[in-house]
Amino acid sequence: MSTVETSPLLETDFIREMVRQMRAVDTYGAYNGWPVEKILAPFVLTKEKKAEIPLVGDPDEETVSHLKCLYNAISVLIEKECKLMAVPLVHLTHEGFGRALITVGKLVVIDKTLRDVHRFGFASLSKMKDEADKLLSVALERIGSYPEVAGL
């Protein structure tokens, strides 16, 4: 884990929600007492680590769970902003290809094509937050453009 990760980043709504999502899938309490950096460490995939992973492979259940945590967290942040229920859907083949959708009412606010999910990860927690912020911004813009569809 890089020492560049500062406490202001760890105090953001997104990072807090990611920790909540990770704790929600921790059915045996293994994360109890762990610092935030250690809980979110599986999301950090440096270039060196990524190079060690084969180009072709099937994602394991843990990786798929982490991917779902990301979209669940973004959905919660959408709900906090617009006060409408956001529903995430992640559909993957066994080979790690598919889509991630988030709907609000009848409106699709996020539609992301997923490839090579077995290599899912970000260069740093900061990069993960940046990507989530972009997706959140797009979603909120779409809700603002089509509020009547989002309210259905």
Per-residue confidence band for 2, with pLDDT thresholds at 50, 70 and 90: very low
Q: Where are the domains of the chain?
A: 7-150
In 3D space, the residue among 117, 95, 130, 119 whose CA is nearest the CA of residue 46 turns out to be 119
Q: Are 126 and 116 in contact (CB under 8 A)?
A: no
| Residue 21 structure tokens | 């999502």
Q: Are 43 and 125 in contact (CB under 8 A)?
A: yes
In 3D space, the residue among 97, 95, 118, 114 whose CA is nearest the CA of residue 45 turns out to be 118
Could you tell me the CATH superfamily of domain 7-150? Protein of unknown function DUF269 (1.10.3100.20)
Q: What is the mean pLDDT of residues 79-93?
A: 97
- The pTM score is 0.91
Gap between the Cα atoms of 17 and 113, Å rounded = 23
